[in-house]
Chain A
């Protein structure tokens, strides 16, 4: 065995693997180096072996998961659950703690229901955005999905990690309604209205009676989610996608301050993306086409490229989904609001039902976003710096100035902008590096580590992170001496006393591993 789970003897580990094979079949227990390659983080910002799995097992059903848990409890085997394993930039299918056994749920890939009348789908963990999209298309269902950038990710996994999309349903986590969860002791629960037998309302009302639990099982290690309901948007009569550009870097605070009332009042009811020119450049080419020198691309070169391409510095993209006349009114208000910024441009691409769907703002899953990881050449890797920022021009400027200064210091280009929701923005900035350039890779790691720490002192907390930084970021949520983390730990010890579920996820360690993190800390 190349890697063992912490505090588990090789003898016991082998016994556990045999028991797992009895449950799922030996062809679904993976232990060799070759078989486990796909469970290493392909974009690791440090040594991928730091998060190497000891084995992986692929369950097909709730019953198999219950049996696996029984074995794991007996031998104290840590299980790291993945759905499609495509959480790229955050660790992919790799566990937080080295030696964990990955519980791979990709084979649980049933679309259980898509209810067109009530506008929801019920899916298992292994259902990807591609798969659900195809199901909806093949059945002629008039519902549209909220999609993140990569289409092969899990509908469930993305929502549980609070991933995002670009429609009015763009906060995917908000549209989860009703979950089925297997607890560490094997008990199966259903949340919200699902706690009641024989109801048609499980996926319509989130809360049920008494405390609401859905969010407790998101970004956590308190249970294994095996089904979710997720709301889907009825096909609109028409769409429009507006592209609004702004000439100057210094326009940022005004863009944010103008966008805020539009989002708060829901004149704009979908996600606004504000991106800089390099983000646009990286979507269609690689850096060496423009610059081969050391360090960040000089501002004057970026300005020259923008001029040649006829681009402005910032571009805001907003999609609208509504009746035609409502879209007319929304576009008019948005155009008028942003016109206040001198030199801004406004264009809108319209679509109405009956026209070719390719011209619409309908989200269609793809993998085009992976183009950006080729920006620095070689085997691309990336980490996302994504703190939550108040939708105030002054706050956006603070975090942008910090990031712009630090990326240049470490030899990177500022690639990013702001993703704007109803009452918050996420400053989204990618650090793209060549994995085969050790110096660049180390600089990316050090830059991320530095900027996350510095941002926290300024009041900016990450909304989601790579497995390598879960402890750091959990520690930055530090009100009252990290009272929230301590509550999570108390709950962890109560609901998973053997500490078998995803130790260390989101910085939450079980009692048995809390002190040394499975041997990581001496």
Chain B
């Protein structure tokens, strides 16, 4: 596998995400655990004022800049970006975010997929 997928491919993954994602229960145990993982590992950059949000706003616009409010992220996409990095985002090792924690954070970030009004 190449070290970095072309951005165009990643963009395509986002477009189909809304249709293919399951409607996750926002209150599920895994999503709740995932929220804790998100707070520990993602939020420092992906908060309202973090550098991750800043870069996403530049690339995709304000609506898509907060990953915790997105409704179109897929598990495969999140898994790829966490393990490989993307643009300014760095990859995370399994000693930082385990495969189990990654699954939890995917549950959290996809919890509102397929629900109306999920995007913030």
A367 touching B50, Cβ below 8 Å: yes
CB <8 Å contact, A368 and B49: yes
A297-314: CB near B (< 8 Å → 1, else 0) gives 000000000000000000
> Cβ of A38 and Cβ of B45 under 8 Å apart?
no
Asked if B51 contacts A370 (CB within 8 A), the reply is: yes
The residue in B40, B49, B85, B95 that gathers the most chain A C-beta atoms within 10 A of its C-beta is: B95
Q: Is the interface of A mostly helix, strand, loop or mixed?
A: mixed
Residues of A within 8 A of B45 (CB): 367, 370
Residues of B within 8 A of A33 (CB): 1
Task: Determine the chain A residues whose CB is within 8 A of the CB of B92 once the complex forms.
Answer: 38
Q: Is the CB of A378 within 8 A of B87?
A: yes
Known interface pairs A35-B94, A106-B93; A42-B44 also in contact (CB < 8 Å):
no
Contact between chains at B93 and A42 (CB < 8 Å): no
- Report how many residues on chain B are interfacial, defined by Cβ distance under 8 Å: 23
Assess the B54–A371 pair: CB atoms within 8 A: yes
- In the complex, whether B90 has a CB less than 8 A from a CB of chain A is yes
Q: Are A374 and B88 in contact (CB under 8 A)?
A: yes
Residues 250-297 of A at the B interface (beta carbon under 8 Å): 286
A59 to B55, CA, bound (A): 35
Q: Could you say which of A34, A38, A92, A365 has the most chain B C-beta atoms within 10 Å of its C-beta?
A: A38
Give Cα A245 to B50, complex, Å. Answer: 27
Q: Does B51 contact A104, Cβ atoms closer than 8 Å?
A: no
CA distance A303 to B91 in the complex (A): 38
Interface flag for A380 (CB, 8 Å)? yes
Cα-based distance from A18 to B3 in the complex (angstroms): 27
Determine whether the beta carbon of A373 is less than 8 Å from that of B91: no
Whether a CB of chain B sits under 8 angstroms from the CB of A30 is yes
Give the size range of A's interface with the partner. 35 or more
Chain A residues, CB < 8 A from B87? 378-379
A93 interfacial contact with B, CB 8 Å = yes
Tell me whether A130 and B40 are in contact (CB under 8 A): yes
Contact yes or no, A371 B51, CB < 8 A: yes
Q: Is the CB of A37 within 8 A of B50?
A: no
Q: Chain A, 330-369, contact with B by CB distance < 8 Å: what is the 0/1 string?
A: 0000000000000000000000000000000000011110
| Binary flags per residue of B84-116, CB closer than 8 Å to A gives 1, else 0 | 110110111111100000000000000000000
Residues of chain B contacted by A374 (CB below 8 angstroms): 51, 54-55, 88
Whether, in the assembled complex, A151 has its beta carbon less than 8 Å from a beta carbon of chain B, the answer is yes
Given A106-B95, A366-B44: A38 and B83 interface contact (C-beta under 8 Å): yes
Known A-B contacts A37-B91, A104-B93, A366-B44; the reply to A42 vs B55 at CB < 8 A is no
**Which residues does B use to contact A, with CB under 8 Å?**
1, 3, 40, 44-45, 49-51, 54-55, 58, 83-85, 87-88, 90-96
> A residues bordering B, Cβ < 8 Å?
28, 30, 33-35, 37-39, 42, 56, 58, 84-85, 88, 92-93, 104, 106-107, 126, 130, 151-152, 286, 365-368, 370-371, 373-374, 378-380
Instruction: Kindly list 10 other residue pairs between chains A and B, CB separation below 8 angstroms, not including A38-B91, A38-B94.
Output: A34-B83, A42-B85, A56-B93, A58-B94, A85-B95, A85-B96, A130-B44, A152-B44, A367-B51, A368-B50
